[in-house]
Amino acid sequence: MAHLLTVGHGSAERRIAVLRQEGRNPPVIWLGGFKSDMRATKAEAVNAWAERTGRAFIRFDYSGHGESSGNFEEGTISRWLEDALAVIESEAKARPILVGSSMGGWISLLATRYLMDKRPDLAPLGLVLIAPAVDFTDRLMWDRFPEDIKRAVMETGVYHRPSPYSPDPYPITRGLIEDGRRHLLLDGPIRTGCPVTILQGMKDPDVPWKHALLLVEHLPGDSACLTLIKDGDHRLSTPEDLERLTDAIEAIA
């Protein structure tokens, strides 16, 4: 059963649902994607691997996602980063391995930057990023939107974007877009201080494989390994994909 971690103050206070499996360190921490949750296929596969191997594994839902409180439409990169950092600082008992899927890849890199500066005792030992949607609010959303959708976002505050992963459209808010610009990483070098492994499908319609190449170009001086999966989509949830994922985690520590 998940336990709840209180994050934020006043009207911004929310309860973040966390699942923790005890085991040997370094702990593996799962950072999920936009509108995903901690019980999705890849997170469950990593949990099963952690059970088999006796590894500590921590996963959580961002506010407005899954079992956590909060309104999804109030979510921003700042808020979800705060959720992730609260979980890492509260739950990690040693330097972790961060595993970030899609938006979780961006959040992982932002969290790493903060931890290297403010909590070097919790700076990650390694990152495993699955179809990392770095800067997605600008590069993968806003820059692709036609003018009528941009106008709708700015004038009404929200655009309900159809999703192939859910019968319900995803609300893309003006707050999400504008806040995302405070956290852009692809305008300069990205320092991680640890090895980075990226798994990327070449048939991913949401995060193009060239976006992953662009990320690698911004990781100077750090050990970065990019695996392109020719027939892989955005989910990367086939048995072969899941094996690649757990192998990548094991290879770090």
Of the candidates 76, 104, 109, the residue with the CA atom closest to the CA atom of residue 178: 76
* 237 among known catalytic residues: no
Given 83, 101, 234, 241, which residue is catalytic?
Answer: 234
Q: How far apart are CA 65 and CA 135, in angstroms?
A: 20
Given 102, 108, 179, 183, which residue is catalytic?
Answer: 102
* 102 among known catalytic residues: yes
Strand ranges (E), the chain: 3-7, 14-21, 24-31, 55-60, 97-101, 126-130, 158-161, 170-173, 196-201, 224-229
Given 61, 83, 204, 206, which residue is catalytic?
Answer: 204
* 241 among known catalytic residues: no
Q: How far apart are CA 80 and CA 84, in angstroms?
A: 6
Residue 231 CA, chain-centre distance (Å), reads 22
- Supply the DSSP symbol for 76: -
* Active-site amino acid positions: 102, 204, 234
